[in-house]
Amino acid sequence: MGSLRAVSDDVRVGCAVDPASLRTDTDYRRTVASEFDAITAENAMKWGRLAADEGAYDFADADDVARFAERHDMYVRGHTLVWHRMYPEWLRPWTRSEAETERLLRDHVQTVAGRYRGCVDAWDVVNEAVADDGGLRETQWLNALGPEYIDRAFEYAAGVSDADLFYNDYGADGLSEKSDEVYDLVADLVAREVPIDGVGLQLHVFEETVPPADVAANVERLTELGLDVHITELDVGIGAAVPDEEAQADYYREVVGAATDAGVDTVVTWGVDDGQSWLPERGFGEAPLLFDESFERKPAYRAVREALGE
């Protein structure tokens, strides 16, 4: 059996990575390089990691991911420029003036998106700005700058980057009130000609499965707005949502098949192997990825290959 990245000419399959594991773990590095043709830094391009100290960026880890991607001819999803989590502690307390806060936002977006111009192919410009119970999430950015912070982030990124610019969220994968909210948000951005190119559906699956037909319908309506849609953080925890490895594989097959049939050309899993995943340590399900802890291919791995037409 060849590698996953060779299965489809039309669909890229990626993974979120940890730069330290890329540097030190031979099995991890070999798996990422040989199996995937897209990559995301799970944390290394987040603001809090890049600029832990005020006024000083440390790009070492993020650059490692970028170089690895270049060496292995991988599509790069940059994650993420503006988020309400994993920002530097020095941004607290949020008592700066509106002008100063906007300057910080602008400088950050321009610095990071500018640095990776020509390397990052798609940026998650704004992440998780919609609240779970409707409306915009009450973030520090919303409080300081109003809803326009979203426009500004896309505009600043567009000014320095040639990447496709995405809005990315969770719980908005299928058809739900939250996915309607995300749809309305991005439709409004498109209508006002804010420079957005796509929507990332994270597709973390652990409480219950999202019907694949609903994912397809959501992809189709977003595509009709003229936007690209990527599956950006796919994982399927064994537990409440799927009872075992076989059911997990069936779900991977169905949901990846439905999404790609509906026009998704990039599917990224949120990690590489079951030994390193954010889900189990938070009690959200077990063994959610395509490779087990020993980097052996799981039934889910073969199911994704089948979904891509093998």
Task: List, by residue number, the catalytic residues.
Answer: 128, 233
* Residue closer to ligand G3I, measured from CB, 78 or 257: 78
Q: Which of residues 163-182 bind ligand G3I (CB under 6 A)?
A: 170
Nearest distance, CB of residue 222 and ligand G3I, angstroms: 18
Phi, psi dihedrals of residue 127, rounded to the nearest 5°: -120, 125
Instruction: Write the binding mask 224 to 243 for ligand G3I: x where contact by CB under 6 A, - elsewhere.
Output: ---------x----------
The residues, any chain, with a CB within 8 Å of residue 104's CB and separated by 6 or more, are 91, 96
Q: Which of residues 185-224 bind ligand G3I (CB under 6 A)?
A: 202
61 is a contact residue toward ligand G3I (CB under 6 A): no
Nearest distance, CB of residue 189 and ligand G3I, angstroms: 20
Query: What does 78-92 look like in DSSP terms, one character per residue?
Result: EEEEE-SSS--GGG-
Residue 93, token pair as written in the block: 């307390």
> By CB under 6 A, which span of 41-49, 53-61, 177-185, 252-260 interacts with ligand G3I?
41-49
Q: Degrees (nearest 5) of the Cα angle 252, 255, 260?
A: 115
- Of positions 1, 52, 86, 240, contacts ligand G3I by CB under 6 A: 86
User: What is the Cα–Cα distance from 135 to 131, expressed in whole angstroms?
Assistant: 6
The residues, any chain, with a CB within 8 Å of residue 282's CB and separated by 6 or more, are none
- Binding residues (CB under 6 A) for ligand G3I: these are 42-43, 46, 85-86, 127, 170, 202, 233, 278
